[in-house]
């Protein structure tokens, strides 16, 4: 299953990128995140492998995330017009996901975030996944909306209702 979701954020790219890349900000916008711990490498750097736990209702989901691309590697003083790429693979029981995030400056005060996702499933998930496509897209959009609210207004998902 493949899909893409995009969203414009009313903040300059120089503000958006650190909020997205810095692990200290993740709990503020990544709904359901329980923990994100590097087990090998330096958080955010290519090759880093992390143990990630999400809470969804009463169920905890554990997965392994590996950073596969970060361009440019140094995010300080990125020239205007340069597209920033963050890519990672996420593996959990019955699921593999490649997430490709692209951040492009639309104007000095606006950033376009495009999130391309590819999933492969095994076992029972393989049978259920086609019926759940809409739910996966909805979840991706919700994460992006939560990030947008955090970047634009400082809204923290841990304090928000719903």
Residue 55 in any domain: the answer is no
Residue 126 in any domain: the answer is yes
Q: pLDDT tens digits for 117-158?
A: 999 999 877 877 778 889 999 999 999 999 999 999 999 998
Residue 129 in any domain: the answer is yes
Q: For 151, phi and psi rounded to 5 degrees? A: -65, -40
Q: What is the reported pLDDT for 162?
A: 53
Residue 21 in any domain: the answer is yes
- Structural domain that includes position 107: 2-31+65-153
- Residue 17: partners with Cβ closer than 8 Å, 6 or more residues away: 75, 78, 84, 103
Q: pLDDT tens digits for 17-71?
A: 989 988 889 999 999 999 999 999 998 899 999 999 998 888 899 999 999 999 9
Query: How many other C-beta atoms lie within 10 A of the C-beta of residue 134?
Result: 9
Q: For 4, phi and psi rounded to 5 degrees? A: -135, 145
Q: DSSP readout, 35-88? A: EEEEEES-TTSTT-EEEEEEEETTEEEEEEEEEEEEESS--TTPPTTPPEEEEE
Q: Give the mean pLDDT of 59-87.
A: 90
Q: What is the reported pLDDT for 36?
A: 93
Number of domains composing the chain: 1
**CATH number of residue 78's parent domain:** 3.30.530.20
Query: How many other C-beta atoms lie within 10 A of the C-beta of residue 70?
Result: 20
Q: What is the reported pLDDT for 128?
A: 79
Q: What is the reported pLDDT for 161?
A: 60
Residue 7 in any domain: the answer is yes
Helix (H, G, I), strand (E, B) or coil at 105: strand
Q: For 147, phi and psi rounded to 5 degrees? A: -65, -45
Q: Pick the more confident residue, 11 or 43.
A: 11
Q: What is the reported pLDDT for 77?
A: 79
Residue 59 in any domain: the answer is no
Residue 45, judged by CB atoms within 10 A of its CB (0-12, 13-18, 19+), counts as exposed
């Amino acid at each position: 299953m493949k899909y893409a979701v995009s969203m414009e954020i009313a903040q300059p790219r120089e503000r958006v990128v650190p909020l997205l890349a810095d692990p200290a900000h993740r709990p503020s916008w990544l709904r359901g995140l329980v923990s994100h711990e590097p087990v090998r490498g330096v958080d955010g750097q290519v090759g880093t492998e992390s143990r990630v736990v999400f809470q969804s209702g009463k169920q905890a989901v554990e997965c392994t995330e590996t950073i596969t691309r970060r361009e440019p590697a140094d995010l300080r003083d990125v020239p205007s017009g340069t597209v920033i790429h963050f890519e990672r693979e996420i593996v959990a029981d019955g699921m593999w996901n490649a997430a490709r995030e692209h951040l492009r400056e639309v104007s000095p005060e606006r950033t376009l975030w495009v999130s391309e996702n590819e999933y492969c499933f095994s076992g029972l998930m393989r049978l259920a996944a086609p019926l759940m496509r809409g739910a996966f897209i909805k979840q991706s959009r919700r994460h992006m909306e939560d990030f947008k609210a955090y970047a634009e207004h400082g809204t923290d998902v841990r304090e928000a209702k719903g």
